[in-house]
Amino acid sequence: VQSTPAQFPIPANVHVETVVSVKHYTDRLFSFRITRPQSLRFRSGEFVMIGLPNAQKPVYRAYSIASPSWDEELEFFSIKVPNGPLTEHLQKIQPGDTILMRHKSTGTLVLDALTPAKRVFMFSTGTGIAPFASLLRDPDTYDRFDEVILTHTCRDRAELTYGQDLLANLRKDPLIGEFAGRVTLYNSTTREETPVMGRITHLIENGKLFSDLGIEPLNRETDRVMICGSMNMLHDVKALVEARGFIEGSLSSPGDFVVERAFVD
Ligand code: A2P
């Protein structure tokens, strides 16, 4: 049974795609996969604008593509916001439903905005892990960096599942499994008791992240940084890396770190 209301016309100039699968992780988080428009080219780490055909003027929100650029489908990881203009409806999608997607992909969390280095740190909270799910499955990441350290901090343990599944599947992947040994996932929680507690800002500052992993602390000489999370998280992590001399990069002027907001309502 299709839940798409037939009474609203499909707007011009958008891709009309179909939901392939949906997975609910918690009452706050879910992921879904949709068909990929043949013409869509994107850089791993970029986002697209997504909407539902449920209004005369559909509401669009930015969603990082979580799948790599070689994948035949597109994957997204979303929060469910009660009464959120888009996610209130999006969280109810089923396989076969229609998703609208604007044509252009864009974003700052791309490898081309960083200069070469030995290690890349990907700092994420909540659904901010999505663009890194794309980059982790892109062989280009391993061409450019010897080591990838992905941190994912969430409120509770169940919210970490998406990232843990990602790593488990990476190891089994025929295309990129060979690189999995160069990836480290570091998890922490802030509201439920788990082996590592605390915000990533705290764990960088007190050095626990580095001592737990037995690695050298952040160093501009050897490291690049990508940051994705809530507005406050971006602000605080950015301040930390800037205090260590890191300079923000962009496509026109590649640098030491890049940031992107992961927030949808
Ligand atoms: P906390 O539980 O202390 O707010 P959310 O799901 O609300 O986006 O939060 C995801 C994770 O990001 C939570 O663990 C949250 O911690 C953490 N967080 C929130 N604000 C910041 C911040 N300014 N710096 C670092 N981590 C943050």
Q: Is 56 helix (H, G, I), strand (E, B) or coil?
A: coil
Note the pLDDT tens digit of each residue in 17-47: 999 999 999 999 999 999 999 899 999 999 9
**Ligand 1 atom 25: residue of nearest CA:** 233
Q: Is 187 in the pocket of ligand 1 (CB under 6 A)?
A: no
CA angle 247, 252, 257 (to 5 degrees): 25
What is the reported pLDDT for 6? Answer: 55
User: What structural domains does the chain harbor?
Assistant: 14-102 (2.40.30.10), 111-261 (3.40.50.80)
Two structure tokens written together for 174: 């025929």
Q: How far is the CA of 232 from the centre of ligand 1 (A)?
A: 8
Note the pLDDT tens digit of each residue in 215-227: 999 999 999 999 9
Q: How far is the CA of 226 from the centre of ligand 1 (A)?
A: 17
C-beta neighbour count of 181 within 10 angstroms: 10
* CA–CA separation, 30 and 193 (whole Å): 22
Nearest ligand 1 atom to the CA of 126 is 10
State mean pLDDT over 195-201. 98
What is the reported pLDDT for 55? Answer: 87
Q: Is 155 in the pocket of ligand 1 (CB under 6 A)?
A: yes
* CA–CA separation, 134 and 107 (whole Å): 13
* CA–CA separation, 138 and 150 (whole Å): 14
Residue 1's pLDDT band, with cuts at 50, 70 and 90, is low
Please, how many CA atoms are within 13 Å of residue 222, restricted to the half-sphere of its CB?
Answer: 11
Residue 105's pLDDT band, with cuts at 50, 70 and 90, is very high
Q: In whole angstroms, how far apart are CA 162 and each of 72, 100, 145?
A: 20, 24, 23
Place of tokens 């992993």: 213
Nearest ligand 1 atom to the CA of 189 is 14
Residue 10's pLDDT band, with cuts at 50, 70 and 90, is confident
CA quadruple 16, 2, 133, 184: dihedral, nearest 10:
-170
Q: Is 202 in the pocket of ligand 1 (CB under 6 A)?
A: no
Note the pLDDT tens digit of each residue in 117-146: 999 999 999 999 999 999 999 999 999 999
Note the pLDDT tens digit of each residue in 48-69: 999 999 888 899 999 999 999 9
ipTM over 0.90: yes
Nearest ligand 1 atom to the CA of 79 is 6
DSSP symbol at 204:
H
pTM value? Answer: 0.95
What is the reported pLDDT for 5? Answer: 53
Q: How far is the CA of 221 from the centre of ligand 1 (A)?
A: 28
